[in-house]
Amino acid sequence: MRARTLLTTTASVVTLGLLASGCTLLAADDDPGEVTDAQRGDGTGRVVLVTHDSYALPKRLVADFEAESGIDLVQRASGDAGSLTNRLVLTQDDPIGDVAFGVDNTFASRALEEDVFAPYDAELPPGADEFVLPDGADRLAPVDEGNVCVNVDEQWFAERDQEPPASLDDLTDPAYRDLLVVPGAPTSSPGLAFLLATVDEYGDDWPTYWEDLVANGVEIVPGWSDAYQVDFTAGGGGGDRPIVVSYDSSPAFTLTEDGDATTTAALLDTCYQQVEYAGVLENAENPVGAERVVDWLLSSRVQAELPTSMYVFPVRDDVDLPRDWASYAERPDSPYALDPDAVAAERADLLAQWSDVTSR
């Protein structure tokens, strides 16, 4: 049974990674002070979309949207979700774009408290209502969702005739010393989600759990891309850590050459629910165009591309998932979930404690 925590759990939580390729497919704009096109009342002209580094959609999809809308869509990547949120807060009076995507349920309350987003009551597609933030329904629209979970390289363990871990408790076992890599909680949304999962599980004893992880050789890196694509043994970067904090969808992307099996697994008892949002930035130069971009992200055409482009589940329930996902992207029955208001109230203290524990 999960321990009681200083943060109250909720039965349904509005809370996704990702997991994405890390590349950006839209042209970057290196000059934040550049004068934009004269904005028209219909929102055409230049619209700057600020995202996390894992945002990626097919070029053809973007080109079609630009041709149909008259919008010149410019992407400005700003690090992981934590870094993105921090930058949006710091530039609230003079925003670095018109619309933002990638602030998730673990960081959204900070952005809302700082009035980063302007009111825009987007028309939500079927299935999206369950992911709406209670305090941000008129400013943030849910775009994708998933679960942050510990993943293991089953092939690595099989080759060494060793059982992989199965739970959070197992990660502190000396049998798995120096095998785990996690993104940092202050800078990474998956990292913060993993921290919140441990808070939900261990309550006031969570710092002791993290002390045990540190003693057992956990490696902490800035973001998901560093953890999964560089240090994880199955992430393609030649890493040496067969245990990583990633997503429930990750195993659908580590298939054998014949496509008949996956070489990795998500530990479904370690997962924390995550939702990513889009919103119009307060003081945007082209707010009408920004609203049209939010609507586009909720469209069936974009939503259908999210699994293969960004490794996440669409919030729409009327689009088909890739065939492999039904077999290999298993979902947890009861992921960890904390009350967003409680997370907002406790986040600063949690991160300060986490930084103290992990830096000793």
Kindly report the three-state secondary structure assignment for every residue of the chain.
Answer: CCCCCCCCECCCCCCCCCCCCCCCCCCECCCCCCCCCCCCCCCCEEEEEEECCCCCCCHHHHHHHHHHHCEEEEEEECCCHHHHHHHHHHCCCCCCCCEEEEEECCCHHHHHHCCCECCCCCCCCCCHHHHCCCCCCCCCEEEEEEEEEEEEEHHHHHHCCCCCCCCCHHHHCHHHCCCEEEECCCCCHHHHHHHHHHHHHHHHHHHHHHHHHHHCCCEEECCHHHHHHHHECCCCCCCCECEEEEECCHHHHCECCCCCCECEEECCCCCEEEEEEEEEECCCCCHHHHHHHHHHHCCHHHHHHHHHHHCCEECCCCCCCCHHHHHHCCCCCCCECECHHHHHHHHHHHHHHHHHHHCC
**The predicted structure's pLDDT at residue 14:** 34
pTM, entire model: 0.80
**Residue 66 in contact with residue 26, Cβ under 8 Å?**
no
* Strand-strand pairing, 141-153 and 99-104: unpaired
Residues 250 and 344 in one domain: yes
User: Could you give the CA distance from residue 293 to residue 316 in angstroms, rounded to a whole number?
Assistant: 16
Residues 242 and 136 in one domain: no
**The predicted structure's pLDDT at residue 326:** 82
Residues 201 and 335 in one domain: yes
**The predicted structure's pLDDT at residue 323:** 86
Residues 280 and 142 in one domain: yes
229 within domain boundaries: yes
Residues 245 and 298 in one domain: no
User: Could you give the CA distance from residue 36 to residue 45 in angstroms, rounded to a whole number?
Assistant: 8
* Best CA proximity match to 53, nearest among 297, 277, 224: 224
2 within domain boundaries: no
Determine phi and psi for 252, rounding to 5 degrees: -70, -10
**The predicted structure's pLDDT at residue 50:** 97
56 within domain boundaries: yes
11 within domain boundaries: no
* Best CA proximity match to 299, nearest among 284, 319, 325, 280: 319
Tally the domains of the chain.
Answer: 2
**The predicted structure's pLDDT at residue 172:** 98
Q: What is the CATH number of the domain that holds 351?
A: 3.40.190.10
21 within domain boundaries: no
Residues 100 and 161 in one domain: no
284 within domain boundaries: yes
pLDDT averaged per 10 residues in sequence order, the chain, 360 residues: 36 35 38 45 93 92 97 92 89 97 91 96 96 93 97 98 98 98 92 96 98 98 93 96 96 92 97 96 97 98 94 94 89 91 88 95
**The predicted structure's pLDDT at residue 57:** 95
Residues 205 and 351 in one domain: yes
Residues 153 and 261 in one domain: yes
Could you list the residue range(s) of the whole structural domain that residue 209 is in? 147-272+331-358
- pLDDT of 278-328, one tens digit each? 999 999 999 999 999 999 999 999 999 999 998 899 999 999 999 888 889
User: Could you give the CA distance from residue 157 to residue 191 in angstroms, rounded to a whole number?
Assistant: 24
Please say whether the dihedral angle defined by the alpha carbons of residues 103, 90, 86 and 343, taken in this order, is positive or negative. Answer: negative
Residues 249 and 265 in one domain: yes
**The predicted structure's pLDDT at residue 40:** 55
Residues 291 and 265 in one domain: no
Residues 142 and 161 in one domain: no
**The predicted structure's pLDDT at residue 134:** 86
**The predicted structure's pLDDT at residue 216:** 98
35 within domain boundaries: no
Residues 268 and 280 in one domain: no
8 within domain boundaries: no
